[in-house]
Amino acid sequence: MIRLIKPYICYDEVKADFEEIFNSGIFTKGTFSMKLPEEICRYTGAKYSFNTTSATTALAVCLDILNIGEDDEVIISDFSFPATVNVVEACGAIPIFCDVDRESYNMLPDELVKNITNKTKAVIFVSALGNPSGLDKIQKICTDNNITLIHDAACAIGSKIGDQCVGGIADLECFSFHPRKLLTSGEGGAITTSCDEFAERLKIKLSHGATVKEGIFDFVDYGYNYRLPDLQCVMLLKQIAKLDEIVMQRVQIQQQYTNHLENVGFCSQKHDINVLHNMQSVVFTVPEGMNRDDLIEYLKNESIESTLGTYCLSNCTYYKEKYNNVQLNALWLEQNTITLPCYYGVDVEKVIKSIINIDK
């Protein structure tokens, strides 16, 4: 089976550091978990970084420090994994589904402006499948309207707008280190910000609500344990050191696909001219008249793993029944996008040949 992705890490890379951790007996809040935020800040240009257990917990704690709750509205990109909307629903706020562009798959600025009301407390922009195109425009709209922008950058580590790395652009940015991501620790996440006030709130929330004065804990708020163990931090530190190389490899693989598949009616995800898209997922819209689900099943029979691009959140059964506000572009993308395998050493030629020969 040709897999969708394989991790860019092997045991030999982490063995020595794992032994150091086991010998020390310090499995959490040790050297490596302290170093990871430093490296993420160095890479992204953010002032602060905080480890979390996932992008989902990262998003949730960002909503928490903004005191978002019942009757507040949070505008969200409608083309994403359901975690993006689930955290809004869980805190009692009202998700406002914002439609996306059919080419970049990202939030449409005009649609965002139309959805802003006096109840809007935050916007969650999703860099769909790692593509941050339009993030800078959305940030300006949020700044002009005094609304906090949370960037769901779950897929976007290593992407850039101009010379600025994702992680150092929006008010709050949340990463995922799930196995489908470029950097993985099995599960894991991070929050970055350059805002001193947000950083202080996050520090307290992520420490069970505690501050430390003269070596004594004072619990000034409620909070959480979303710590990432040192063993997982080692894995991430090894991978972030080669992240630029990983991104370049994936860009080249995507270009191989594009050079052949666009000739037979497939259309690749587009990004702005000043954007470096990390190609967390290589995604195409299928030719008109082709059934995407049939193509996925066909490729499975060819021992090639593939899947849909991602989900139209407003069309998920729970949210469709509760809010009845399905966004048409996001729905179209859910029905017509396919994700193809991408990792170092993938047999691109076999995947392309299988797709081109589907009717032969």
3-class secondary structure, 283 = strand
Rounded-to-integer distance, Cα 59 and Cα 201, Å = 14
145, 170 contact by CB (below 8 A) = no
Per-residue pLDDT averaged across 206-226, rounded? 92
| pLDDT tens digits, 162-206 | 999 999 999 999 999 999 999 999 999 999 999 999 999 999 999
Residue 281 vs residues 47, 136, 152, 171, 268: alpha-carbon distances, Å: 28, 21, 15, 25, 11
Rounded-to-integer distance, Cα 165 and Cα 168, Å = 6
Specify the pLDDT at position 213: 82
336, 292 contact by CB (below 8 A) = yes
Six-digit token pair at 216? 């004594």
Written as one letter, the residue type at 72 is: D
For 246, half-sphere exposure in the C-beta direction (CA atoms, 13 angstrom radius) is 25
Q: Which domains does the chain have, with CATH numbers?
A: 11-240 (3.40.640.10), 243-356 (3.90.1150.10)
Q: What string of DSSP letters covers 139-163? A: HHHHHHTT-EEEEE-TT-TT-EETT
Torsion sign over Cα 180, 7, 266, 272: positive
DSSP 8-state assignment for residue 289: T
Nearest Cα to Cα of residue 232 among 5, 6, 17: 17
Q: How confident is the model at residue 341 (pLDDT cuts 50, 70, 90)?
A: very high
Q: How confident is the model at residue 335 (pLDDT cuts 50, 70, 90)?
A: very high
283, 271 contact by CB (below 8 A) = no
Rounded-to-integer distance, Cα 256 and Cα 170, Å = 32
Helix (H) or strand (E) holding 338, with range, is: strand 337-340
List Cβ neighbours of 224 (8 Å cut-off, separation of 6 or more). Answer: 57, 61, 205, 206, 208
Summary mean pLDDT of the chain: 97
Per-residue pLDDT averaged across 286-314, rounded? 97
Rounded-to-integer distance, Cα 260 and Cα 271, Å = 19
Rounded-to-integer distance, Cα 54 and Cα 184, Å = 11
| pLDDT tens digits, 240-258 | 999 999 999 999 999 999 9
| pLDDT tens digits, 10-25 | 999 999 999 999 999 9
| pLDDT tens digits, 66-110 | 999 999 999 999 999 999 999 999 999 999 999 999 999 999 999
| pLDDT tens digits, 35-78 | 999 999 999 999 999 999 999 999 999 999 999 999 999 999 99
Nearest Cα to Cα of residue 157 among 249, 276, 61, 71: 276
Does the pLDDT value for residue 358 go beyond 90?
Answer: no
290, 335 contact by CB (below 8 A) = no
Does the pLDDT value for residue 359 go beyond 80?
Answer: no
The answer for 233, left when phi > 0, alpha when psi is -120 to 50, beta otherwise, is alpha
Specify the pLDDT at position 360: 58
Per-residue pLDDT averaged across 112-141, rounded? 98
Virtual CA dihedral for 230, 234, 235, 236, nearest 10 degrees? 90
Q: What is the pTM of this model?
A: 0.97
3-class secondary structure, 125 = strand
